[in-house]
Structure 1
Amino acid sequence: MSSQPKVFLSFRGPDTRRHFSDFLYNMLTNAGIGVFRDEEGLEGGKEITPQLIQQIKQSKISIPVISKEYASSKSCLVESEQMVECLDKKDHTIIPIFYYVDPSDVRYCKGSFESAFLKHKNRGINDSQINSWKCALQRIGKLKGYPFHEKVYHAEATKQIVHEVQQILKTKDLIVMAPLVGVDSHVQEIMAKLKFDCGNGRAVKIGDTSEMVLIYGIPGVGKTVLAKYVYNKLHHLYDTCSFLEKIQQEIEDKGIVSVQNQLISDLYNYAREFKYSDDALNYMQSWFHAKKVLILLDDVKDHEQLSALVGDLDWFGLGSTIIVTSQRADVLIRIDGAESFVLRTLEQDKALQLFCRHAFEEDSPPEKFKEESIRIAAATEGLPLALESVGKSLSKTKRRREWTETVTALEVASHESVWKAFSKSYKTLKEKEQEIFLDIACFFNGKDKRIPYYMWDDRNYMPALSIRSLHARSLVEIGENKEICMRGILKMFGREIVEREREYEREPCKRQRLCNGEKVLNVLRGRKGTVYVEALGLEFTDGSAGNISFKCDQIDGLQKSSFLKLDQADIRGNFGDCDSSLRWLDWRGCPKIFYDNANLTWQNLVILDLSWSQVQEDWSGWEHLVEARKLKVLKLTGCLQLTATPKFPPSMELERLVLEGCSNLSFIHPSFGNLTKLVYLNMKGCGGLSELPDLDPMTGLKELVIDGTSITRIDFQEGSIRKLKSLSARDCKHLIEITDSIRYLESLTYLSLDGSEIHALPQSIGSPEKPKTTSVKNCGRLSVTSQGLQVYSRRRKHA
């Protein structure tokens, strides 16, 4: 029982104490409701104690169990009088139970009630007191209550009473400690997914369907707080409810059957203990199909775990609702009709407001700490967990130095609360998923995911499965152009893992990854490269690119390095044995002097990026292409001195060739036909090209980009590039013709001719089979009468 009972139970002991009143008392207390009852009862001339009166005053609800002899008890009448007095103050509720009596007899004080008052009069009780008792009892008799008689199923009626008490007391409201900011729009969207209308401020169910919704997002984003808020708005509409918190911890400690037992006990309002999980599942499936339930499952690991807890929606009564929180987006993968809601971090203004509520108990910062507060909101990227932790810690001090030091610390490292939350999530990743997560945090954030896939494939990291898992956990997002995106706060966390790696915080050369520009330079210049370093990224953001130089033998010793990014550094000499395991060389803007002196072995290279460099047709490095049997990606973006492509040996298995921005490129070497494995060709901005190269050998080509070239005509041979899905020819100012050979492109789904000079379109483009999306924006010369023109410049919806 709680320390302060909220329900006062009034009854005449001899009538109901050992039967109904005990049963009702136990049902209320088992539901977690504090109940006070007069254990002794007052008969004869005994006076009711002040403590008893005080209990009624302090209670929110009174439940008088009015039996035939109720009015014969002086204490019951005094209690009734006090109940009505509290009722008139509008802070008290009376729920009368008419126990085998007619409510009209109570309203009009007839039958046994009239006899009881005559007896009190005969015992010397004055008329004024009797009239006061009568008035109180009559008032209670007029209230809506619960009649109990032979035709009423007592157990079911008692459950209804307990449910009403819970609604009035809101005993099922979950505690939400954190101040709420920006949740209203989220709540509205979740309510809509659960088929509730909240137009008048109250939740009203639309139909009697059962619904399930998943709230997912990164750790610390406020999933549980939001779910509790929705739960509190809905629980009074259900027969029974359950909130299971910190499920993972409970499963780790006691196993899943412990969580199942708790769920069943909550829904049944009675403790149940099953030894085996299957027994618990069978019980749920058999006993709750008629109950309209509300269940909140907090921190579900995956869909297998969800199935082990609630099975299918049809196990529960119509109108049931299940709310699930998880870090994973794929928890509902096997549940038809379930909805998902991704909870993201707060926008800057809302983040500042939430921080201020924790730090100042205000919605905006005082002028003295305004700048620091804004910087904290930005540094934490609107993550509620961080805003709460930092806000609470700073609320205890007004010393400016502590504030400035906190801001500085947050801008270079995660807050400890964030580190703990993210670390817990990170440890649940598989080893290969962890490796890819760290690679992205250190090197590939914002990059086209298809490029690092080749390196990860070569290292057997299972990138498709790993990226899907990271995406499902909201640790990465995939952009419209297939770029991998990681939030800054996650990127910072990933780099911190690397910084703390293997306890080598003070020995950067012993870490697996080096991505801090200054520390990388220290390693290279100090000849500290060791077998520990597997990936090294030299990147400049301070304008020093191109001014960094050192000899190649200074990076000798990086035998295990599979990724090397040198970012315009001027490296002289040869690489020695550091390239024995090199899979990806990213040397954008490499100086020409390197080409004649380097002794780089290309036999294990998978990706070579020489973008914005000075490579030319006669560059001596092209001779090594014959060694590059594993090379899959060659990027030459922005190589302005390149006028002709190199000679491609027959042994090459290149899949992606990027020549974008090579504005002086005018000649495609005939050996281009050796690239039979090519799937992606990008010649965007190659203004010197006036005709397409021979693409017939590229039987696997899927994407062709020729935007901004000087090509005049697009024509294909029958049977060529049947797998091509996307053809982009935007802003081709000299393109005047696209022939009907486009019909040979059997797999084409996207065609863009925006800004071209074409006069007409081939008839085959207008057929239902070709292509699903065709865009001809800003094609000023295109005839309006061109056949099929009505379908252009919009997406056609057909099978």
Structure 2
Amino acid sequence: MSTSSSMAFQFGASSSLSFSSSSIRRWTHDVFLSFRGEDVRQNFISHLYHALHQRGINTYIDNNLKRGEEISSELSKAIEGSMISIIVLSKNYAESRWCLDELLKILECKEMVKQIILPLFYDVDPSEVRHQKGSFGEAFAKLRYKLKDEVKVTKWEAALEKVANLSGLELRDRNESKFIQDIIKWVDSIMVNRTFLKVAKYPVGIESRVRDIFQHLSMGRNDIICMVGIFGTGGIGKTTISKEVYNRISYQFEGSCFLKNIRETSKAGGLIQLQKTLLYEILGISLECHDTEKGINVIRHRLCFKRVLLILDDVDDLVQLETLAGARDWFGSGSRIIITTRDQHLLNISKVDSKYEVKRLDHNEALELFSWHAFEEDKPMEDYVELSKHVMQYAEGLPLVLTVLGSDLRGQNINYWRSTLDKYKRIPSKNIQKVLCISYDGLDDNEKEIFLDIAFFYNGQYLNHVVKILDSCGFSPENGIKRLIDKCLITITTYNTLWMHDLLLDMGREIVRKESPKEPGARSRLWFHEDIRHVLEENTGTSNVEGIEVILPEGDDHDMIRLSPKSFAKMKRLRIFKSHGAYFSGRSLDYLSNELRVLDWSNCPLQSLPSNFRGEKLFDFKLYRGRIQEISGQFKNLTRMRFFECTFLTKISNLSSCSSLKELDIMDCENLVEVHDSVGFLDKLARLHLYQCSNMKSFPRRLKLRSLEVLTLFNCSKLQTFPEIECIMEYLCCISLLGTPIKELPSSIGHLTPALKELLLGQCTKLMRLPSSIHQLQNLKVLISTNDCKDLMRLPISVSHSQHLKCLSLENFTNLAKEEIGLSIGYDKCLKHRKLTISRRIKRSELESSAELRRQLLSSLYWYLDDFSFYSSSTLQELDLSWGAVVSLPPTMKIYVELRILRLCHCEKLQEILHLPPNIQELYVRECFSLERFPEVSTKFQFSTSYGLRELRWIDLSGCHKLVANIGSQVPNPSFVEEHIQDHSCGIIFPGNKIPDWFSHTKEISNGDDSCELDISGPLYLEEIIGIVFCAVLGSDPDYPLGPFSGICVSINGNMLVEARFYLYGGSDHVYLNYSFPDCIEQLLRYPTEDNLRFRFYCDSYKVVFKSCGVHIIYKHEENVNLTVGECLVDSSNGIQLSKRRRDDEDSNLEFNGYPQHKRLSQDLGNSNAT
């Protein structure tokens, strides 16, 4: 590639938001590891490097054990070229000058090229690094003494403080393998968000246009939401330019999404799918809905706190905008929404903040781009200069046309060029499609057929699947697709899908229209809805028709196409029939073409396939919500058969002739009774999936499926027997029998070794025994028999021999003999480092051998816990005692130093919580109606002179109405907060209806709403803030006694700071209290606010309302104000009532060192100037 500034992106030390191409990085490594070799090289680093390498993450590790005074130029380049730097801060890290210089270089790259940094605190505390204390400080002191260079030392001190303030991961006393897993997950998430979109092979002219767009985006303003429209004619480069903009700035946002090709996608009723993609890309959630209105509500409610970048590509209808980005307040402050369209009027009525028209390439730019494609150089070869200039006249500065024409002429001699130019001369000016058609005319017949099939049926689909279908049609797809790529008529996306520009799509459709301008039935391919209606209803189809795709237009949900038995009679060469969302009348057809390769028909009205339809060439067969009653046929080339919600289907008949079948999916066919025995002998079948076929009684009695990989029989609620296994299935990795009433598994299940890893038997209510041969499944990792397998009487002792078993779940087994549980747990050595779930009264003697069990989840244990010491105090990490008869937790709980999560929900006899593990992080105590005493909860939320439960981050006390506790009764002491609270925030939900009196800013909401805004005006002195406390009083609908599962979020100036999820029980008010310290402050200082903060509280359940909200800011130098606190008054109807507090100096302002006066704002803050 040339070094021309308009072509190649040069790298260098430039500002983070440089408008030059230097802000785009092409990283040489994904991760750079910085570490102190003598501390971690031989153990932790070697394991981490191996895990990163196994994950396909390109990681740089410096194996040079001999180091000089300065870091080498090679190492410096490695740091500069890495997307992520992982810094392992160990005890002796600060004793190495080399490590500290690496740290300086890494922080420089963070500022200059926006490198991402992950600090790992390995056996050191962040506060030790921040202040150079403890063993970490001792190591630093040694270097300081040896070096005697205070200038250098000062730089290192500042660097250590800066890196300690970054969000990182701490090893503490947890397992190293789990720590490494968390690191890998973090790196994975960063790399997904920093994956660049493919822009252009030769990005000529892009730089100046991107620079212009940056001026419209106002990237320096984080207090606004900016919507920018990019418009211009088709093929001018709108999509290419917006991709480049996305690549340069997406990393600066909390979430980003590029929604491409909206015009085409929405034609097929794809607006819901676009909403799903948007939410998945930004939040990582999968939206399950069939209604765009619901999608709108989810987008608006879930993204209004997030600073996002959203690019809507190729919009041509206002409905698309209203569905995907209907208003600015759908998104958080600082968001940027970019719309590309051909229609400037659309931008006018949508009231974008700014518009940018993409101009055509000037002569020099056009000649350069053409030259790259025609000659692979930045200018024409000498003999072709004049001919190239003639090409410029026909391309009219459109990048797409220049690309196609250059690719078409590349490698051809002068005579070919002159002949082609003669063809261009005969085309009227401004007829771009005809110019493009010259490239199509140069294809051979095979390539033309492939081009037209892609244009009509396969644009946007996965390459591998399309290749198989084209191959089944007798084409040569490998060579044909390669030729189309070479001529720039199609491209392959990052996701391995086919993509064709809409100008080329239109060209392909126009080529087919001209086959028969007046009669659609004489054309080779049909896609326009009204043309298809005419052909099928008037029986005008001919043998010319090879493919039909029915796409229901938006809003025509009840539009009906009336079929007659003769509708397809004349279409002897029909290869493809696809219908999505359209409706048909008619119950039978006399004829379907035996040339069909794809039959994909939703709402199919046929009760049976025509008797003369053999389907010998059928490759892909799918029916959705059809009326078909029985399936049979000679489908010898069929590879995939799928039936969804075919409620009239009763029988899958003999499929022995389907020798090529690889996937059989049958979902929600509630009247299916029988699956023929022949299905059990399909040698190539890899996936057999029956889902919620609730009346299926007859399933193959024997399975001899050598290629099977997944077997699912989910909620087949009348299937009582599991088939015999008649061969070794070496590829079968998962069997799911969830919700089936089978009574036992056959001993032949042992044939499933060695691949079987998961056996899921949940809700198998009739299951009585597992075969002893289960021990032969040596690679079994997950054996789950949760929820209501009440008839299971014996658990084979041989299950303990499964060396790879990671998860054994035996929940709600009411008939499992006591000795059986004892035996199974007695062999838990095979479950070391893994998870066990059981549910039964168990004696201590039955569990004595469980000392090595780790990360156990012991659900629903009916114990009084008089002796809880039989578990290893060094291994238990998660404990669930919900619904149990626990009265009080014993003192031995304090020895469980690894326990992080404790659940005590619905323990109706629980009266007090006096003892908790020292490192507990999450505590769930919902609906413990008898709970009265919990002293440590008061101590935890004082933040004044003591700090119990240091690691605790979340307490859920919803529904605990008898509890007496002074929660949040004192103002946090700034000195204490600054000294002791450095690592995380903490929150609590409890019954109550009052915000503590010491809150400096509050707001009452008279009518109740699902959101609340509270403004605080300055001066704010942001650099002095060390903590923020949030509080909200929430009410829930009394008509819902169990209460909704709710999420509360708090944002500041549109940037989300706090999020928590919990249940609220109907008819009572609850108080949500959150103390946010370092992480919150870091975000606050990241977005300058010019002495004005707007806090927004929001709840994502419409059954929950805010009654009041409050914010209190903690400053470094604020004096500690002692409050006199009365006793908590407890009322069974109102829960915890925080009594009236009295300030000793109630009438005086709190003034200190020129910092803000903290005075309780009036309760009608909503009417003040602050709102």
Q: Give the structure-1-normalised TM-score.
A: 0.39
Q: Point out the structure with the larger strand share.
A: 2
Q: Give the structure-2-normalised TM-score.
A: 0.28
Which structure has the greater CA radius of gyration?
Answer: 1
